Every structure is written in C-alpha cells, then in structure tokens.
C-alpha cells in the first residue's frame, strides 16, 4: 500500500485556465508568463453556416526566443472535431486580433450608457465578416475564418519544458529572420513545414509542403527546401510542378519561380557533425628577439563556448590572438576548424575579429555603410549585407541608428556596431579584443548581456580578451 507522500510525488502537476474571446489579451499575457513551457490548447467554436460545434485541439507555437507575435496566437493543430466526427484539418491556425477589435472587447465588457457604445457596436456588426480568426490567404482549407465563431479557449500547462527547438515564423517576419534561419540551417538539421504559394513562371499554386531547409555556402543569399512530401488535399495539382527530392528556393519576395511562405514551422534537430574543437593550439611558442612571450602553450577551444583570455598589459593576450589569426610568426601548431592557421585565406571565413580600436571603422559612414564596406571584403552581395545588417542591429537593439553617422553614437553603441561588422559573414568564431575598454560599469554589464545573447542565438564561439577578471568570471 502506497503512502500519502508517495501519492503526492507521483500525481501529475498541471494548471489550467479558461478565457473567452473577449479576454484575448489576458490569454496572451498568461501564455507569455509561461513561455518556457509547452502550452496545450483546446478551442471551442461554432461553425456559423452549419450551426455545429467545433473543437480544435493543439499546442501554442512561439517564435525565436520563446516570443509571441503581437495580438496574435499561432496554433499547431493536432485534432479537429465537428459534430463528434473528426474532419480534415489545416496544419496551422493563426488567430489575429486588430487593435480596434481588442478595444471593442474592452468596451463591450464594460458597457457605458449613451450613444458612443451603441455606435461602436453597430460598426462592429458591420465588420463582423472580416474578424481575424484565421489569416487570410485565399486557400479553401483556410476559409474557416469566415464561418468560425470562437467561444472559449482552454489552456493547459503540464510544466513540460519547451526546448525551443520548434518555432513558427509568419510572412511578416520572414525577411527579418532570414539570416537567423540560414545560420540554423548551416549548423543544424532543420525540418520544416511551409504553407504558402508556389510560383512557377506564370502559374501559382497554394501549397503545404514538408522538407529539409538547406543552407547554400556558395549562395548565402538563398535558402532552399529539399521536398519530402506534399501535405494538402489537392496534392495532385501541385505534383504537376513538384515531386519528392526537388529543391525549392524559399522566397522573401515574389519571383518567377520558388515558394513564397505565409507560415514557416521549423524543427531544429541534431547539430550537424562538425569539428568539436574549433581551435586547437599545441606547444605554441612566440618570441621577439631573445625574449619569449608565450612558451609552449597548449589548449583546445570547443564549439559554442565562451573563453576568456585574461592577464595584465604585456602578458601576451593580444599576441596569442594574433598568432591564432595568422598575423605573426610562431612555433608549434594552431588549427582552425581543422585548417592550419597559417593558411589565412582559408580560415578567414570562419573568423570574426572585434578590435579594441574603434577608430578602424569609418565614423563619417553610417553603421549600414560600414557593414556594406567591410562585407564586400568577403565577397558578399550588397543585398545580402543589407538584410544581415538589419537583422544584426535589431538583435543588438540599435536598429534606430542604422542610418546615422557612426560618429554621433555613444561608445557602447559603436562597440555593438563593431560586433555586427565582425559577424556580417556568419563566422563560427568571434574574437573580441578588450570589448568593454573605456566603458562605464553599466554599459559594460549591458554589453556582456548582448555577448551572451549572441553566443546562444547564433551559436558562435566567443574568445574574449580582457583584464577585468570579474567580467570573465
């Protein structure tokens, strides 16, 4: 016979919450506070045309960094029941509310006397047909939007950690997240379901397809999907244009040929097999004349780590980094991604360097102009650079300074721009030489938060030179 204590530890622990459609904002806030957990959802609705009850079961999807879209909830549908029978289902439901609708909800819950409330309600009745239950795409499988009246949302949190390996990206955000998706495809096996439109010259077909996202080293401005299967009902039509094994370009703007997605659902699987140790140093010795600066140093740096090189001025910190970069002669052996560090042209694409001296940037240029100038040195197309520049400056939280002269920025902002420049070619390793030198303590602290974010978001190995022991710790 089990004890009460044993029952307490074996009993499932979960929480549930119910929300009406008028409580949409409160529901999103509830989800945001639990964004690090998997949230299940059951939606109770009514089909207006048939007057039948509809139950939709699924899970709430999030974008990168566990974020939700403003006034929007995306559900990965697992089951739909109408009149106690299972029916064919769309793979995603995008429940989207306008500012006006949310404002109307607040008023309708607290009605006030007078003509204002009545007038607003009349307007609401007039636009009832364009309520944002589902994103408009024109697809037959998604036209539930005009028939469905949502009555209630039931949410459940079983306190199961969300690994962050499944993310959703809506069309409005695709261009901004292009570089991030490309970087993920370079480092991980990324499966995807895409819903949108396939363009084939003068033809266009609505489609839902599944496959693997591919990063093209020779064409970093492109993303491809290796097609595995076609998911929607009218698959015979799309098969006139596509078949298993085809390579489809994923478009961020409408072109003659390719797939223009409304929704991308990504599943990040295992990391691709690459060098575990991105840098290997063995018996490194550096001398200037008769003076030995570095004497038989050996160490390995693992992929995705943050490594600090600390010491007083003249201790050999910068000398060690210059040897890794292949900028001075040394004895011993250094390999970068398995390549001899002396082969500087071969290792250059893997390395990003943020110098201590900020004067190496052009202060009359804007951050965008600086990034285009330095990006061209890696043979990158200007359009690719511009897209990556916007992404990086937004991730570093200085997008508003993209067109302002660099000289007008503060020291901390200039440092972030120098980091963005060093990352423009998607390096595997980022070396930062005294990155917080000359900055006040608060700015130093904020900058370190961004370095940690870069390491986690981009998977870049960071090597930081500093004489601040507390920072390295």
Q: Which whole number is the average pLDDT over 108-133?
A: 32
Q: Which whole number is the average pLDDT over 233-262?
A: 75
Q: Which whole number is the average pLDDT over 322-345?
A: 87
Cα-flanking dihedrals φ and ψ of residue 345, to 5°? -70, -35
pLDDT of residue 8: 45
pLDDT of residue 470: 61
pLDDT of residue 60: 95
Flag the least confident range among 215-224, 418-427, 430-439: 215-224
What is the band of 239 on the pLDDT scale with cuts at 50, 70, 90?
low
What is the band of 468 on the pLDDT scale with cuts at 50, 70, 90?
low
Domains of the chain are: 4-97+132-161 (no CATH), 166-271 (2.30.30.690), 277-472 (3.40.50.300)
Write the pLDDT tens digit of every residue in 17-42: 999 988 999 999 999 999 889 999 99
Write the pLDDT tens digit of every residue in 41-64: 999 988 777 788 888 899 999 988
pLDDT of residue 253: 74
Residue 203 in contact with residue 363, Cβ under 8 Å?
no
pLDDT of residue 200: 81
d(CA 327, CA 341): 9
Q: Which residues contact 100 (CB under 8 A, 6 or more apart)?
A: none
Between 205 and 255, name the one with better pLDDT: 205
Q: Over 90: is that where the pLDDT of 84 sits?
A: no
pLDDT of residue 147: 61
Flag the least confident range among 44-48, 366-370, 449-453: 449-453
What is the band of 136 on the pLDDT scale with cuts at 50, 70, 90?
very low
Q: Which whole number is the average pLDDT over 164-185?
A: 82
Q: Over 80: is that where the pLDDT of 405 sits?
A: yes
pLDDT of residue 271: 67
Q: Over 60: is that where the pLDDT of 126 sits?
A: no
What is the band of 381 on the pLDDT scale with cuts at 50, 70, 90?
confident
Which of 39-43, 97-101, 334-338, 437-441: highest mean pLDDT? 39-43
- The overall average pLDDT reported for the chain is 77
Percent of the chain exceeding pLDDT 90 equals: 11
Flag the least confident range among 95-109, 155-169, 186-200, 246-260: 95-109
pTM of the predicted structure, to 2 decimals? 0.57
pLDDT of residue 274: 60
Q: Over 70: is that where the pLDDT of 228 sits?
A: yes
Between 393 and 217, name the one with better pLDDT: 393
Flag the least confident range among 124-133, 419-428, 449-458: 124-133
| Cβ atoms < 10 Å from Cβ of 157 | 18
What is the band of 273 on the pLDDT scale with cuts at 50, 70, 90?
low
Q: Over 50: is that where the pLDDT of 286 sits?
A: yes
What HEC string does the chain produce?
CCCHHHHHHHCCCCEEEEEEHHHHHHHHHHHHCCCCEEEEEEEEEEECCCCEEEEEEEEEECCHHHCCCCCEEEEEEEEEEECCEECCCCCEEEEECCHHHHHHHHHHHCCCCCHHHHHHHHHHHHCHHHCCCCCCCCCHHHHHHHCEEEEEEEEEEEEEECCCCEEEEEHHHHHHHHHHHHHHHHHEEEEEEEEEEEEECCEEEEEEEEEEEEECCCCCCCEEEEEEEECCCCHHHHCCCCCCCCEEEECCCCCCEEEEEEEEEEEEEEECCCCCEEEEEEEEEEEECCEEEEEEEEEEEECCCEEEEECCCCCCHHHHHHHHCCCCCCEEEEEECCEECCCHHHHHHHEEEECCCHHHCCCCCCHHHHHHHHHHCCCCCHHHHHHHHHHHHHHCCCHHHCCCCHHHCCHHHHHHHHHHHHCCCCCCEEEEECCCCCCCHHHHHHHHHHHHHHHHHHCCEEEEEECCHHHHC
Q: Over 60: is that where the pLDDT of 112 sits?
A: no
């Amino acid at each position: 016979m089990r004890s009460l204590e044993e029952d307490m530890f074996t009993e499932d622990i979960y929480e549930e919450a119910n929300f009406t459609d008028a409580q949409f904002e409160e529901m999103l806030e509830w989800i945001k506070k639990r964004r690090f957990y998997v949230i299940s959802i059951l939606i109770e609705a009514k089909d207006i045309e048939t007057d039948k009850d509809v139950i939709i079961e699924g899970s709430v999807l999030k974008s990168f960094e566990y974020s939700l879209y403003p006034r929007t909830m995306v559900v990965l549908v697992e089951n739909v029941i109408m009149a106690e029978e299972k029916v064919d289902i769309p793979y995603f439901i995008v429940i989207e509310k306008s500012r006006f609708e949310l404002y109307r909800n607040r008023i309708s819950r607290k009605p006030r006397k007078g003509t204002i409330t009545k007038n607003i309600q009349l307007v609401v009745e007039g636009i009832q047909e364009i309520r944002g239950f589902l994103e408009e795409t024109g697809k037959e499988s998604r036209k539930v939007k005009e028939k469905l009246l949502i009555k209630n949302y039931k949410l459940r949190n079983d306190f199961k950690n969300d690994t962050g390996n499944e993310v959703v990206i809506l069309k409005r955000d695709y261009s901004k997240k292009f570089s991030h998706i490309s970087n993920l495809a370079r480092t991980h096996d990324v499966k995807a379901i895409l819903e949108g439109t396939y363009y084939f010259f003068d033809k266009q077909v609505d489609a839902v397809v599944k496959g693997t996202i591919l990063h093209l080293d020779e064409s970093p401005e492109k993303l491809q999907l290796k097609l595995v299967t076609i998911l929607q009902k009218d698959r015979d039509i799309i098969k006139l244009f596509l078949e298993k094994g085809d390579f489809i370009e994923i478009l961020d703007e409408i072109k003659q040929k390719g797939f223009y997605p409304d929704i991308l659902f990504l599943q990040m699987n295992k990391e691709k097999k690459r060098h575990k140790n991105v840098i290997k140093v063995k018996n490194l010795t550096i001398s200037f004349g008769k003076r030995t600066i570095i004497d038989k140093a050996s160490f390995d740096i693992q992929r995705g780590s943050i490594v600090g090189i600390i010491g007083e001025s003249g201790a050999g910190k910068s000398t060690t980094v210059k040897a890794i970069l292949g900028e001075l002669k040394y004895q011993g052996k250094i390999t970068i991604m398995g390549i001899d560090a002396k082969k500087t042209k071969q290792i250059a694409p893997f390395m990003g360097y943020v110098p201590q001296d900020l004067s190496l940037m052009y202060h009359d240029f804007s951050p965008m102009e600086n990034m285009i100038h330095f990006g061209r040195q890696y043979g990158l197309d200007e359009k690719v650079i511009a897209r990556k520049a916007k992404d990086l400056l937004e991730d570093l939280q200085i997008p508003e300074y993209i067109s302002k002269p660099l000289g007008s920025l503060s020291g901390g902002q200039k440092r972030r721009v120098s980091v963005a420049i060093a990352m423009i070619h998607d390096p595997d390793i980022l070396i930062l030489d005294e990155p917080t030198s000359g900055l006040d303590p608060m700015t130093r602290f904020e900058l370190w938060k961004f370095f940690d974010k870069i390491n986690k978001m981009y998977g870049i190995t960071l090597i930081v030179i500093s004489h601040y022991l507390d920072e390295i710790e």
